[in-house]
Structure 1
Amino acid sequence: MAATEGLQPKPVTASAYTIPPGHLGNLTSAQEAALTKVAAELRAEGAFVESRHGDAALLRFLRARKFDVRKAKEMLLAAEKWRKEFGVDELVRTFQFNELEEVDKYYPQSYHKTDKSGRPIYIECIGNLNVKALYACTTQERLLQRLVVEYEAFLNTRIAACSAAAGHPIEKSLTILDLGGVSLSNFIRVKDYVFASTYIGQNMYPEVLGSFYIINAPWSFSAVWAVIRPWLDPATVAKVQIVGGPSVYRPLLLAQIDAENLPCAFGGKCACVGGCSLSDAGPWNPPVLECEGVTEKGQAVEIEHAAGGRLLSA
């Protein structure tokens, strides 16, 4: 299956960064006014949360609603209500996904290194999904809790570390969804999780998806896509590229990702010890190297915090 959604990507180089429109440092006067207005209204209503309503965060909601202040504020307040109901802050403090290695056997989901733009790469493989085995070792509720904790880590840890490593702000990810071997019956059995996770991503964590590659798409995926597509925001659909096997997707991925950062399974050269899907390798989790009593990992954490203050402060 040839690419059917989105534009063909061009090779990316690390030096090619320019501030995207609608982001800090590249706002029109109308966008600046919208940012000021939404922040002022939230403060006046006692709904402004200093720790997560900085300019970069508010701009994500404004971009998601095309800088319509009323709609952006409604979206943000709905997300805040959901956070309380879902118990996000408590999950971030206490959640432990002890079944990770077992779940990884049936439904690998992981962040792994960065693309040429410095964005975290998120990889999900559902082709060999064993639903019965998956739900024998975990539950849909825990999968969604893990998803939310990972979104929080993305916003508060991963993009800060990636920004420090890249030398410029990073706010989005590159996602690879591998459908190799997927069956329609398996998808149907996990569709509730897929829809719930899609809803959370689009409405609670908007504007964090950069590029989205659906690879190894079988001919039958057209039926699955027909079910999923109506649930997606048109802006999300525009970022999706649906492609077939290795001869098609490998050149596309390698145009965006250095071979050393792309797992061997997808045509790259990375083979993390213990498996790429369990390595959590990336700027947010660099190797520990002792140097005169100070670890390289410890130094990276300090840089990460500095970047976090720059990206997320009001």
Structure 2
Amino acid sequence: MDLVALVRTVSGVVRRTRVKSAPAVWQRSMSSPASLSLSQQGKVADNQPPESAPLLPEDADVLKRLEIEFANEMPIDRQMMIRFVRGYKTEKARWETTVTKLREALEWRRKTQADSVLNAPLEREEKYFELWPHDFHGVSKRGHPIYVEATCAADPNVLLESFTVEEQQHFHIQTMEMLALIKRQCERDTGLRTYKHVVIMDLGGLSRRHMSSKFTGPVQSQINIDQFYYPESLQTLCIINAPFVFRMLWGMVKPWLHPLTAARIKILGADYITQLKEIIAEDQIPRYLGGNCKCCPAGKTLQELHGDKFKAFVDKRDRLLKAEAAAEDGTKSASMSTS
């Protein structure tokens, strides 16, 4: 993800619950509409995802109505519906807005083939990792998957010469779907509803070249993807190593954000590692950010590790897809044996 992720984001359950008579589908990230406080959602332990709290009665009612409204639609993941139920809670015309936005998101997913984007490699995946170094690394103290990217390692000119805006968007969708896949595995492991993630965006290297439309244009388009099609997916976005010029870029980007999304973005100071450790255990923070996770060699940057991170991404993607397929088969077998 990038500043395109700043906002792009930058972005499975023990048993995935589905709309009646419809198999589960993968869905997924950032946030836009309403975010409920813990007191509104119900209390959960400090080491649990806040979204794991039970639905309030009025939210459960909207969810039931959605299941009826979309009974004949493509298979819809229940967690996706819950994100839309909670995400548009504060809208004046709540029901009409939720139905409209969910219908638009489903149509967008069909059009972009988001449900199958992880099933086969995209063209020049490794090259994209090289130009846009990123990493899916560990979980926060509350159980949210962590996504890290060296946003400004990307040269806007080189990036656009190598990938069209549409191709960049497709890689962004891949990133969001990968995060969704990881979150479903977290749900299977813990039994707790988990549909949010944490982003760490390293802006070291940000310069005036990132102020051009070659960079800000794709950023805005991906902001819209996250806000309209992946509401309620971002828990926190931590920006580190932001230089002075970031103030200019932030002034351009902030108006594109829903106020509740902007509120989830934290700009950390020089001692960012101390602030990161408030929400992430040190052994879950990679060494290239100053943590002590042993999975990364010491003394190397994320950009220098892009080849290793690409291989790790491919391995994790394949492993989690197999685990999900096995879980789905197990659920089907259990259902058949009890019918």
Residue 323 of structure 2 corresponds to 301
| Counterpart pick for 1:256 among 279, 291, 296 | 279
Give the RMSD, CA atoms, in angstroms.
3.3
Following superposition, the deviation at residue 65 of structure 1 comes to: 0.7
TM value normalised by structure 1:
0.76
Contact 1:173 1:209 in 2 (8 A): yes
For the pair 1:66 / 2:89, whether they are aligned, the reply is: yes
Gaps of 5+ in 2: 1-43, 298-304, 332-339
SS in 2 for 1:96: coil
Residues 150-171 of structure 1: CA distance to partner in whole angstroms, max 9, x if unpaired? 322332x211212233452221
Find the partner of 1:221 among 243, 246, 257. 246
TM-score (norm 2): 0.71
Residue matched to 2:46: 16
Q: In structure 1, give the amino acid aligned to 2:242.
A: A
> Counterparts in 2 of 1:1-314, with a 5 A limit?
16-18=46-48, 20=50, 23=51, 26-43=54-71, 46=72, 48-50=73-75, 52-54=76-78, 56-66=79-89, 68-89=94-115, 91-100=117-126, 102-155=127-180, 157-188=181-212, 189-245=214-270, 247=271, 249-270=272-293, 271-272=295-296, 274=305, 277-278=309-310, 280=312, 285=316, 301=323, 305=327
Q: 1:84 to 1:268 in 2, by over 3 A?
A: same
SS in 2 for 1:255: coil
Task: Tell me the CA shift for residue 201 of structure 1.
Answer: 0.9
The Cα shift of 1:176 comes to: 0.7
Q: Take 1:220 and 1:27, find their aligned partners in 2: how far apart are those partners?
A: 42
CA contact (8 A) 1:179 1:216 kept: yes
Corresponding residue pairs, total = 276
Say if 2:133 and 2:149, in contact at 8 Å, map to a contact too.
Answer: yes
Q: Secondary structure at the match of 2:194?
A: coil
Within 2, Cα distance between the matches of 1:207 and 1:63? Answer: 8
* Structure 1 residues not aligned, in runs of 5+: 1-13, 289-296, 310-314
Q: Aligned partners of 1:264, 1:73: CA distance in 2, in Å?
A: 44
Q: Secondary structure at the match of 1:117?
A: coil
